[in-house]
Structures are given as C-alpha cells and as structure tokens.
C-alpha cells in the first residue's frame, strides 16, 4: 500500500488550486475564502496556514485560531492529524463540515487535551434570495460611538453560546477590539430600544459569494416576540443587496433558533460540527 505524502505548507504559488477548492464549496468554505480573498495564501498575511495534500489538493486544511478542514478523504485527514500532533494545538476550536471535522477529531482526540465540548450536529443553512418575512425596519448597522451600549449584548451572546466569558484573560481588551472592528466594518447590526440592545447579529465572514451570519441574540426578556426572525431577515436583506448568499449554522438542539431561521426562509444544505477547547 502506498503511503500518502504528508501535508505541505501552501503559499501564493498554490493560490489558483486553493481557489478551485474554495469555489467548489462556497458556503462551507466561506470563513476561509474570505481570508484568502483579502490576504492571499502566504501564511504571514493569512493569519494562519493552509496545508495541502496531493498534487491537485485532494486534501486542504486551514490552521489558525480555528482549525478548518476543507477537503479530504480519511487518508488525507489522517495526514493532517499527524502534522497537527507534531506542531501541537494552537487553535481554540475545530469547525467545518461534520464529515471532515469528526473523523479528524477521532484522529486527534487521543493526543490533544480533551475537548471542552463537541457539537456534532450543526445544520448549515442558506438563503440565496430575499427573506420570506418582512425585515425589521429598526435593525440597522451599529455606529462606532455605540460600542459601549452594544458590547454587553455581544458579551452575553458569546457567553451564552460558547460557555466562556470572552473577557477572561485580558479583562476584555481583545474582545472589545474585535467587536469594535466589526462595527467599524459595518458588519454589526442591532435594534436599540431605550438605549439598550434587544436584538443583535453580525456578518462574521464575507466572501465574494457568501455572507455568514453569526452572533444572533435576543435579550432574554424579549424572546418569543419574533425579534429573532425579523432581525435576522434584516441582515439577510443587507446581504442580498450586496449580491451575497446568506448563510449560518446553528446547533441542532436549538429548536427555537432553527424554527426562527426556517421562518426567514433558510434551508439546510449540510451539517457542521464544532470541537471547542
């Protein structure tokens, strides 16, 4: 049996091949595609590394703050795991198509520290057209001077979704900077009432073809009123106007959120999985 050659670190000479892989799965690859379109393939600009297996990139994996397997059969995933074991874990999570993430985690789980949580079934949903419900006219981009009013909602959403307060470690300096960057880029949206956020969402990744919605949150005392559906529809409306397909992924166990997204018009095309460290 021939042994598959180990992954190689890709650079700008591989960009055409990388783009072909990303274009073949634009919704699932949105997070990485957005980075490559902005920064290219060289790791010093990309903010991570791209590993490739095979002369035609039969296997492709992004390794940065997140580890994102993008393509590969079991042999390629095993090769990625071998390299990941050698270099050690620097990512805070693994995320991507479930059929790639879960086998890769099987290869790594006995070598890396135990995961804090494994979410094996997260429907990946898309909406390529206008939303099926009327967008909330009061949802709008957050202005830079509203950062301090928006930030508590962002912290609450992150803590509720991920299970960790994002301010731990540096007192919130890094997370505040990331939120400020999203606001400055016009990718944070909210509905304010009496100066407080009652709905929020962000466009987390924006490639040439797809916009990935993330961080959808409704203030607990306002849940069940339809703010989530109508607010998400407003963000979808913005993406459609930009010529992008709207996408998001959600935990399978979150039935209210899934129902809300279905009301907006989203439908499932695949399943993601996330391993949190």
pTM: 0.92
Q: Are 226 and 45 in contact (CB under 8 A)?
A: no
DSSP structure string for 189-227: EEEEETTEEEEEEEEEEE-SSEEEEEEEEE-GGGTTSSH
Nearest to 193 by CA among 221, 169, 166: 221
Give the pLDDT means over successive 10-residue stretches in the chain (277 positions): 72 96 97 97 95 95 97 96 93 96 95 93 96 97 97 94 88 92 96 97 96 96 95 97 97 94 97 96
Contact (Cβ atoms closer than 8 angstroms) between residue 111 and residue 86: no
The angle subtended at Cα 20 by Cα 273 and Cα 73, nearest 5°, is 45
Give me the helix-helix angle, 74-87 and 98-108, nearest 10°: 50
**Rounded to an integer, what distance in angstroms lies between the CA atom of residue 161 and that of residue 144?**
24
Cβ neighbours for 212, distance < 8 A, ≥ 6 positions apart: 30, 31, 203, 204, 205, 206, 247, 248
Angle in degrees, 0-180, between the axes of helices 227-241 and 255-264, rounded to the nearest 10 = 50
pLDDT for the residue numbered 151 = 96
Q: What does the alpha-carbon distance between residue 164 and residue 160 come to, in Å, rounded to a whole number?
A: 8
From CA 136, how far away is CA 146, in angstroms rounded? 19
Q: Please, what is the Cα angle at 238 between 125 and 149, to 5 degrees?
A: 100
Helix ranges (H only) for the chain are 15-24, 30-39, 43-46, 74-87, 98-108, 147-162, 173-184, 227-241, 255-264
């Amino acid at each position: 049996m021939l042994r598959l050659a180990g992954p190689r670190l890709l650079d700008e000479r591989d960009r055409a091949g990388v783009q072909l892989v990303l274009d073949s799965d634009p919704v699932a690859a949105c997070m990485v595609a957005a980075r490559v379109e902005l920064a290219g393939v060289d790791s010093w600009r990309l903010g991570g590394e791209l590993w490739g297996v095979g002369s035609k990139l039969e296997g492709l994996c992004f390794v940065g703050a997140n580890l994102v397997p993008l393509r590969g059969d079991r042999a390629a995933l095993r090769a990625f795991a071998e390299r990941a074991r050698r270099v050690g874990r620097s990512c805070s999570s693994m995320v991507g198509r479930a059929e790639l993430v879960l086998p890769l985690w099987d290869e790594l789980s006995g070598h890396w520290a135990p995961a804090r949580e494994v979410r094996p079934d997260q429907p990946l949903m898309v909406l390529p057209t206008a939303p099926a419900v009327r967008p909330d006219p009061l949802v709008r981009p957050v202005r830079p001077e509203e950062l301090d009013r928006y930030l508590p909602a962002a912290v609450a959403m992150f803590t509720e979704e991920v299970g960790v307060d994002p301010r731990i470690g540096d007192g919130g300096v890094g997370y505040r900077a990331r939120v400020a960057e999203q606001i400055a880029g016009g990718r944070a949206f909210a509905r304010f009432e009496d100066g407080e956020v009652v709905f929020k969402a962000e466009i987390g990744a924006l490639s040439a073809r797809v916009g990935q919605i993330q961080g959808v949150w409704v203030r607990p005392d306002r849940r069940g009123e339809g703010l989530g559906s109508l607010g998400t529809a407003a963000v979808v409306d913005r993406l459609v106007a930009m010529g992008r397909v709207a996408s998001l992924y959600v935990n399978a166990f979150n039935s209210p959120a899934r129902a809300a997204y279905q009301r907006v018009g989203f439908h499932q095309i695949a399943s993601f999985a996330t391993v949190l460290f």
